[in-house]
Structure 1
């Protein structure tokens, strides 16, 4: 189950990464075991979907409120995805972990994912601060904006615990939240497309150019942020 979501501005955007087939994701795992696991993941996927729904609702509300009250929406668009059962099973198997829903819940933090794309770098941290202010627990932070990956990749990754209020209990559901600017998102989508077409590894001859492109995207972000700050100081 991996679908895009409707953005606050009305467009439909899909999570941009191509998905491998179920057969490829099963790898060397025994097929009968994998299929049995897939049949037992209904509750696991349902509660993670609810976690995504809870977070998406908050993000949409903040987006509309800022657009109305502050005339600047820090959220350009949002996408979401739930990892498919065969991908969950394959990841557990690769790690040498028991392939069952309990193991998946305990050991995997990326079953549910939400990506927020923002106009400016300051908006990325604004959305992060909103998460903090509303007492949503941030379990892990990886700031690839402050410290980009060697290939130039930039994004802010958070693992957060989203409270899901069911009829008989409240569950804390781990959701992977990625926050990035439009320029960062463009670079990451194109880089992943190159990875996909080249079998999972970008050709060495592309490495320097990709990093240069990431630097150019970062420069564009800085320039646009400067213009935004000036427009705030010098209205009209």
Structure 2
């Protein structure tokens, strides 16, 4: 009888693992599809405008253990529908840009594509978190064709400058799972560092906008939440051919 119970438990675990791997394959396909779109946008700008709006693209599929923990925490059934409707960061993409204008520009161009549906935007650049964290977060959906069906895959995209990413990486190393040791003074110092990096980002943006290499006529206007006009930087290459 005990042997039977063990066999049943092993069979259940194997079945869950197989289903989870199938789910993750769906998300990986959607993630790769969006990454390809971003790479195309970057190469197009490099070729047409002689400007590289993306420095790096990182992407990952959430670890199965983390997904299962979220399912248990949210008390969800183990189904694709429950996962897709309640867990939005299974597939994640991080886009690093040179300038703040590139962050909004790439987000605008990506979301304007007909097979990308914007579900949610969280602008932590305009409205930083209390600790100073800055980034533009998008939740998007894209249809992916498989051998026997078409599924809408939800992807989380984080867009930020290289400076913002540097701060976020260091803050994560310092504070991850160390909440008991994080004092008010430490939080204040982290915020000051984040504000200093944001100030540098803004200065670099102004310098780039004022350089003779970048002309207003060749830029793409990007409508930002602050209602301020940010220009997608494009170099003037006249005389350099």
Please give the TM-score of this superposition, normalised by the length of structure 1. Answer: 0.80
Instruction: Give the Å deviation of 1:222.
Output: 0.3
Distance (Å, rounded) in 1 between the aligned partners of 2:210 and 2:126: 23
Q: 1:91 matched to which residue of 2?
A: 70
Instruction: Please name the residue that 1:168 is paired with.
Output: 148
CA positional deviation for 1:141: 0.3
Say yes or no: does 1:179 pair with 2:159: yes
CA contact (8 A) 1:34 1:86 kept: no
Q: Find the aligned partners of 2:180 and 2:65 in 1 and give their Cα distance.
A: 19
Unpaired runs of 5+ residues, structure 1, are 1-29
Q: Does the aligned pair in 1 maintain the 2:142–2:153 contact within 8 Å?
A: yes
1:67 paired residue number: 46
Contact 1:144 1:153 in 2 (8 A): yes
Please, what is the CA RMSD of the aligned residues?
A: 2.4
Query: What's the CA shift for 1:201?
Result: 6.2
Q: How far apart are residue 97 of structure 1 and its match? A: 2.0
Offset of residue 132 of structure 1? 2.2
Shift of 1:167: 2.7
Q: Using a 3 Å threshold, how does the CA distance of structure 1 residues 112 and 144 change in structure 2: closer, same or farther? A: same
**Counterpart secondary structure, 1:40:** helix
In the TM superposition, 1:184-223 aligns within 5 A as: 184-196=164-176, 198=178, 202-223=182-203
CA contact (8 A) 2:26 2:153 kept: yes
Does the CA contact (< 8 Å) of 1:113 and 1:176 recur in 2?
yes
For the Cα contact (< 8 Å) 2:38–2:110, is it kept in 1? no
TM-score (norm 2): 0.79
Counterpart in the other structure of 2:94: 115
State the alpha-carbon separation in 2 of the partners of residues 126 and 200 from structure 1: 39
Residues 191 and 33 (structure 1), Cα distance of their counterparts in 2 relative to 1, 3 Å cut: farther
Cα gap change, 1:97/1:161 in structure 2, threshold over 3 Å: closer, same or farther?
A: same
Match in the other structure for 1:82: 61
Name the residue aligned to 1:14: none
